[in-house]
Structure 1
Amino acid sequence: MTLAERQARPRALLFDWDNTLVDTWPTIVECYHDTFTTLGLAPWTANEVRARAHGSLRDVFPSLFGERAGEAETVFYETFHRIHLQRLQPLPGADDLLARCQDLGCYVAVVSNKVGDNLRTELAHLGWQRWISRAVGARDCLRDKPAPDPIFRALDGTGIAPDETVWMVGDTPADLKCAHAAGCLPVLVGGPEALSEMFLSHPPRLRARNCHELAALL
């Protein structure tokens, strides 16, 4: 019997947003490119952005840009608001996965490091409110992921305790660390084939290559 077969069916699934349910890497890469170049800095390559652009901007930008963090954030969001909705694309199988969760009677929420208002705008743009009960983003809580605060906010008032029947699903070390901190089941979707030290310090309990495979696990 596999781990997935032994694992209890979840009562709740909390999904990361960017590159877990939707493909936003092209947008993120362009936002970082414009930010670095406007500030007169050598931009990261697309691969560097994928490897390093994790965490909320309010946590990451001060270490990247120091006293110019506020200026950098302004530039980032000027590009973001210009392009994010027109480029927003669901990942293959994401809508079927969310429908499957609903069929199973699971509570579904999103826990993201995208600013909450922007997250909810994208959710509405896709019309996914029919599947997703709550969306908690950056700045909605005192602390963002990997702190457990957003998970606690997503479950608040549901009567569901953060335990192993709550799956925190994401593609980055921050998602797994957040799950461990809250006492939920960490589930990695996508991510590198060979897990780096960052992933192994807070390892996943379940893995799926994509949304289709996660739906099959359910």
Structure 2
Amino acid sequence: MHLTTPRAILFDLDGTLADTAPDLTGAMNRLRVARGLPPTPYETLRPVASAGARGLIGAAFGLQPGDEEYEELRVAFLDNYASALAQDSQLFDGVPALLESLRGLGLAWGIVTNKAARFTDPLVPLIGLQQAGCVVSGDTTPHAKPHPAPLLEAASRLGMRPGDCWYVGDDLRDIQAGQAAGMATIAAAWGYCGDAPPVTWNADAVADSPMQLIELIRRLSS
């Protein structure tokens, strides 16, 4: 898709707007310690933080959905996380300036995350994102990303056509969801990004920092 001037920017949350890995990995390592295991190094867990419980349990315990004990670990991990959502989570450097720039340009913005509303709803105001025009969580629609349904719901809530929106995310499934929704896609290379380099995701653009994203939007809006 050729990039055109957006009317709205939709963002993933974990690893795109906010560095939530410290609290996510902390919840996982409290689970390991409670089971008599040493903490998993932060450097091992951080890249998979955008994949939530599935990615973190895979990295910390070597288990995947369907494996014995996986569901028990998932429930315990989420309970740990719910008890300490925003002790160390914060917006990435440059994100407040990015959001202020969008306001100055008259562009709407919103959040589309696979994080369940149980966590999203209290977390968003705690880390300073309460001005979002919409917040769509992983359980807001019947499908989570990479299905396009959450992104289409967000566009609808903002009163926008999908083609007038950009979707910005730090995971391949974000780009897949944006493409399926008919939106322009931007890979947030400042985020966690998993195993595959963002340049391989076939996004419409790759931004190495929030400032680069600001510059890209300004060029198209001028």
Same fold flag (TM > 0.5): yes
* Interval containing the TM-score (normalised by the shorter chain): 0.7 to 0.9
The 3 A distance-change label for structure 1 pair 211 and 59 is closer
**Overall identity of the aligned pairs, in %:** 25
Q: Secondary structure at the match of 2:4?
A: coil
How far apart in 1 are the matches of 2:65 and 2:36? 13
The 3 A distance-change label for structure 1 pair 26 and 213 is same
Equivalent position of 2:75 in the other structure: 74
**1:63-142 aligned within 5 A:** 63-64=64-65, 66-130=67-131, 132-142=132-142
CA contact (8 A) 2:170 2:189 kept: yes
How far apart in 2 are the matches of 1:199 and 1:145? 17
How far apart in 1 are the matches of 2:47 and 2:54? 18
The 3 A distance-change label for structure 1 pair 141 and 57 is farther
Gaps of 5+ in 1: none
The 3 A distance-change label for structure 1 pair 30 and 154 is same
Deviation readout 1:158-177 (Å, 9 max, x if unpaired): 432212x3111011112111
The 3 A distance-change label for structure 1 pair 140 and 39 is farther
Which range moves more in the overlay, 168-177 or 152-161? 152-161
**1:175-190 aligned within 5 A:** 175-190=174-189
Query: What is the TM-score normalised by the length of structure 2?
Result: 0.80
CA contact (8 A) 1:56 1:144 kept: no
The 3 A distance-change label for structure 1 pair 201 and 142 is farther
Q: How many residues align?
A: 211
CA contact (8 A) 2:110 2:154 kept: yes
CA RMSD in angstroms, aligned pairs only: 3.0
Tell me which amino acid in the other structure corresponds to 1:172.
D
Tell me which amino acid in the other structure corresponds to 2:180.
A
Equivalent position of 1:169 in the other structure: 168
How far apart in 2 are the matches of 1:12 and 1:180? 16
The 3 A distance-change label for structure 1 pair 35 and 142 is farther
Gaps of 5+ in 2: 58-62, 218-222
